[in-house]
Copies of this chain bind each other. A is one copy, B any other.
Amino acid sequence: MSLTHAPAGAVRQGSLRELNLALVLGRIAAADRPPSRADLATATGLTRATVSAVVEDLLAGRLVSESDPAPRSGAGRPARGLVLADQGPAGLGLEVNVDYLAVCVVDLAGQVRHRIVHRADLRPVAPADALAQLVEIAGDARDEAAREGLTLVGAALAVPGLVDDTGLVRLAPNLGWRDVPVPALLAEHPPLVEQVPGVPALVVDNEANLAALGELHSRPPGPSSFLHISGEVGIGAGIVLDGALFRGVRGWSGEIGHLPVHPEGRPCRCGGQGCLEQYAGQEAIVTAAGLARAELPADTATARLAELAEAGDPDALRALHDAGTALGVAVAGVVNLLDLDTVVLGGGYAALAPWLCPPVLAEIASRVLTAAWSPVTVRPSRLGAEAAAVGAAGSVARRIVAQPAGWLARSG
């Protein structure tokens, strides 16, 4: 899922055009003002003739459109600016979480065009029923999108758990799912998206991964390597390296919640001891702050903590400081290992960032070997709630930008 698509196999005559389509489209997507054909020629190194030909294909395929305001003023023939089309292909993002279902539609430019959130406690709901509800909501979103000229070309589903590369949800502990064959269950419903060569109809992925992708593609562009930590009941991380999500050998990377921070400490449900989750997970913080867990539904615990901290409640402040310190120990290890310069606190951590960041930064400062030369930024996520759904939809839309040839082959 990088911007430049590396050809895996034979490079044929047509690959040339495919690569240049992606190159030009990627430039248009990355530009902050609508570039002209001439701008694109100088930026890409292609000749204006080639750029014109490539742009013609992109215009014919409705992936870009010409914008009215000229991008330049001065002597000479006025340029025609090129922008990503606000009609055409779009991505569908789906999310099943503990206390809500979310659906959203993101267009080529990365804009969230529709967003539907259905709040409900999903834990007692059977997986098939939860997915059926999701499909129904997604159908509404698709119809709304169609009225605006958007065609859904792929879907990505975020779940809070381990997913293998076939889409099987091995384990989603907080949802109570185990070995749920999501693609098979969704195949029983009418298809939500149009099939496009090169774009998988459905991708199932961990919510932390997809939230990290959302952060990666948020505007203005941020760093291309960072760690995105989703602090919910469990703690997951999405690792973005050189503009691409690193999924690991089996797609199960990012289990930062089970980094040992006190090797002989509290036992963890994973079988280990002293895992980060036992010190900085939602339940640990809530308990340490003196809040009985039972009286708080999962979705309000974070808000309540932020309220208390805002009001200066000493127990809450201490709990957050301790959690931040534990988080900092783990993060310092990750930064030492991967040499990242940006850490994003997402999910439930986003709202708690004002209290978590200082202790995290303190641990980094004292534990990271290279901290003196290279400062590490720790900041809350830019995306709000349902970041995973937005990231999921964005990942589909990005795929069209990165590999436009498939879409163009489909329709004239």
> What is the interface of chain A, defined by CB distance below 8 A to chain B?
2, 4-13, 15-16, 19-20, 23, 44-46, 162, 170, 223, 225, 237, 239, 241, 246-256, 258-263, 270-273, 275, 329-330, 332-334, 336-341, 366-370, 373-374
Contact = CB atoms under 8 A, between A and B. Distances in A.
Contacts of A170: 373
B239 A338 contact: yes
A-B CB proximity, top 10 nearest: A248-B339, A6-B6, A272-B367, A10-B45, A253-B339, A255-B336, A259-B333, A11-B19, A252-B339, A10-B46
A271 B366 contact: yes
Describe A's contact surface by its main secondary structure.
Answer: loop
Nearest to A4: B6
Contacts of A272: 332, 366-368
6 contacts: A4-B7, A162-B370, A250-B373, A251-B339, A253-B337, A255-B336
A9 B45 CA distance: 7
B261 A338 contact: no
Q: Which residue of A2, A13, A332, A333 has the most chain B CB atoms within 10 A of its CB atom?
A: A333
A337 B367 contact: no
A250 B374 contact: yes
Contacts of A13: 16
Contact of A252 (B162, B248, B271, B370): B370
Contact of A337 (B8, B259, B262): B259
B10 A23 contact: yes
Given A255-B370, A366-B272, A369-B270, A338 B246 contact: yes
Contact of A20 (B11, B339, B373): B11
Q: A4, A259, A275, A374: which has the most chain B beta carbons within 10 Å?
A: A259
Most buried by B among A5, A237, A271, A336: A336
Contacts of A334: 337
A78 to B, nearest CB: 25
Contacts of A367: 258, 260, 270-273, 275
Contact of A338 (B248, B258, B260): B248
Contact of A239 (B19, B251, B337): B337
B263 A261 contact: yes
A259 B276 CA distance: 14
Contacts of A261: 260, 263
Contacts of A223: 249
A10 B258 CA distance: 44
Nearest to A270: B369
A3 B189 CA distance: 41
Contacts of A260: 261, 329, 332-333, 367
Given A4-B8, A258-B336, A334-B337, 8 more contacts: A9-B23, A9-B44, A10-B23, A249-B340, A253-B339, A254-B337, A260-B333, A330-B333
Given A44-B9, A248-B340, A337-B237, A262 B259 contact: no
Nearest to A263: B329
Contacts of A271: 366-367
A4 B338 CA distance: 23
Nearest to A367: B272
A284 B166 CA distance: 45
Contacts of A7: 4, 6, 19
Nearest to A326: B263
A10 B239 CA distance: 29
